[in-house]
């Protein structure tokens, strides 16, 4: 995620894109300054068609914490699936990643924090530890954290100040003793993406990708 944002302020990223991106874990970016960063941020700018499409693509890139090369590879893979619009396949795949699911369960305050929990071995899928943040979950997979995972600052912060108040309908969460567990009930929907998103613009941005 740090590489995906290239060291830029998460507030400035959201202000430049004009959208709050929950995955960055920094709410309130547009509350006090609902305009772009910099001395010219308050001036109205006429955006080109390319810039409008670029902004929509960058929303996906920054929210999910993927780099451009990774996103292009995911687009190529999604375009091979002819069962639905490829951009829907792309979003569904990103929503099924374990780092995103941990975030959407409100077990981490950001996708970056969820990724750290996975890499440090705090996440269990079907009783086994996983360490690949991009692992794709399947229907009926069961997710929980290790005892140490439930005591991490990331988990405790997310429980105190959840970034998104609701859990997607395809996930079920319940108490497991003093802790929690969850299960994947169904495939996520493209509409589950937690920020304003115009998929047509992303389709147009990547139309040349095969």
pTM over 0.75: yes
Q: How far apart are the first and last CA of the chain?
A: 26
In the prediction, which pLDDT does 39 show?
43
Dump pLDDT digits (tens) for 135-177.
999 999 999 999 999 999 999 999 998 889 889 999 999 988 7
Q: Are 44 and 193 in contact (CB under 8 A)?
A: no
Q: Above 70 in pLDDT, residue 41?
A: no
Dump pLDDT digits (tens) for 72-109.
999 999 999 999 999 999 999 999 999 999 999 999 99
Q: Distance (Å, rounded) from C-alpha 160 to C-alpha 156? A: 6
In the prediction, which pLDDT does 35 show?
56
In the prediction, which pLDDT does 15 show?
87
Q: Above 90 in pLDDT, residue 38?
A: no
Q: Distance (Å, rounded) from C-alpha 169 to C-alpha 164? A: 13
Question: What is the rounded average pLDDT of the residues 48-67?
Answer: 95
Domains of the chain: 2-93+195-205 (1.10.1050.10), 97-186 (3.10.290.10)
Question: What is the rounded average pLDDT of the residues 177-200?
Answer: 94
- Structure tokens, 183: 């299960």
Q: Distance (Å, rounded) from C-alpha 18 to C-alpha 55? A: 9
Q: Above 70 in pLDDT, residue 32?
A: no
DSSP 8-state secondary structure symbol assigned to residue 137: P
């Amino acid at each position: 995620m740090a590489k995906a944002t290239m060291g830029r302020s998460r507030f400035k990223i959201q202000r430049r894109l004009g959208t709050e991106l929950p995955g960055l874990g920094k709410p309130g970016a547009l509350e006090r300054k609902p305009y772009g960063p910099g001395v010219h941020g308050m001036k109205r700018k006429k955006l080109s068609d390319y810039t409008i499409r670029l902004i929509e693509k960058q929303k996906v890139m920054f929210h999910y914490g993927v780099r451009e090369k990774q996103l292009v590879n995911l687009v190529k893979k999604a375009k091979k699936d002819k069962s639905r619009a490829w951009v829907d396949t792309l979003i569904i795949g990103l929503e099924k990643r374990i780092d995103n699911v941990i975030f959407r369960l409100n077990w981490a305050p950001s996708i970056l924090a969820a990724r750290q929990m996975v890499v440090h071995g705090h996440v269990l899928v079907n009783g086994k530890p996983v360490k690949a943040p991009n692992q794709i979950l399947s229907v009926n997979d069961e997710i929980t954290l290790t005892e140490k995972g439930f005591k991490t600052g990331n988990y405790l912060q997310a429980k105190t100040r959840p970034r998104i108040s609701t859990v997607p309908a395809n996930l079920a969460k319940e108490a497991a003793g003093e802790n929690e567990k969850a299960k994947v009930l169904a495939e996520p929907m493209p509409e589950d993406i937690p920020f304003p998103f115009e998929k047509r613009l992303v389709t147009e941005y990547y139309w040349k990708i095969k």
